[in-house]
């Protein structure tokens, strides 16, 4: 498995502001993903974080709203921009090690937007 940390673990933010969530892994991984889990729902993939290039977004998610960076093989950030109450969710990062197909998840960031 991999040791994955996320910061912050939770936050309460005001409408119209932005929050950047960090995901740090203890070793190099090939793939990193960002998911959203709305209250009482399952997980939805936001995007694949590509090292050194633009993220690949899933349908319904755009870079202007969810900019993602991945400057190296162990770190990625997700920004939730111009937040509204509908953005209140748990945001999780996940990673895949080279040669495996198993995703391991971080502990998540619980975001509440007022």
Partner 1 sequence: AQSVTQLDSHVSVSEGTPVLLRCNYSSSYSPSLFWYVQHPNKGLQLLLKYTSAATLVKGINGFEAEFKKSETSFHLTKPSAHMSDAAEYFCVVSGWNAGNMLTFGGGTRLMVKP
Binding residues for partner 1 (CB under 8 A): 1, 31, 41-45, 92, 94, 96, 101-108, 110
CB of 30 to partner 1, least distance (A): 9
What span, in angstroms and rounded, lies between the C-alpha atoms of 42 and 1?
22
What span, in angstroms and rounded, lies between the C-alpha atoms of 33 and 113?
23
CB of 99 to partner 1, least distance (A): 11
HSE toward the beta carbon, residue 26, CA cutoff 13 A: 8
Among candidates 112, 105, 111, 114, which has minimal Cα distance to 35? 105
Closer CB to partner 1, 18 or 38, in the complex: 38
CB of 55 to partner 1, least distance (A): 14
Closer CB to partner 1, 42 or 72, in the complex: 42
Question: Is the CB of residue 6 less than 8 Å from the CB of residue 111?
Answer: no
CB of 27 to partner 1, least distance (A): 17
What span, in angstroms and rounded, lies between the C-alpha atoms of 92 and 43?
9
Closer CB to partner 1, 48 or 69, in the complex: 48
């Amino acid at each position: 498995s991999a040791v994955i940390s996320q910061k912050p673990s939770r936050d309460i933010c005001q409408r119209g502001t932005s929050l950047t969530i960090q995901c740090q892994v203890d070793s190099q991984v090939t793939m990193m993903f960002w998911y959203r889990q709305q209250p009482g729902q399952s997980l939805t993939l936001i995007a694949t974080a590509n090292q050194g290039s633009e993220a690949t977004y899933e349908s319904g998610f755009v870079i202007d709203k969810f900019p993602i960076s991945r400057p190296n093989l162990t770190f990625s950030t997700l920004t939730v921009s111009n937040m509204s109450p509908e953005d209140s969710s748990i945001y999780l990062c996940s990673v895949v090690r080279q040669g495996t197909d198993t995703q391991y998840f971080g502990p998540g960031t619980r975001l509440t937007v007022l």
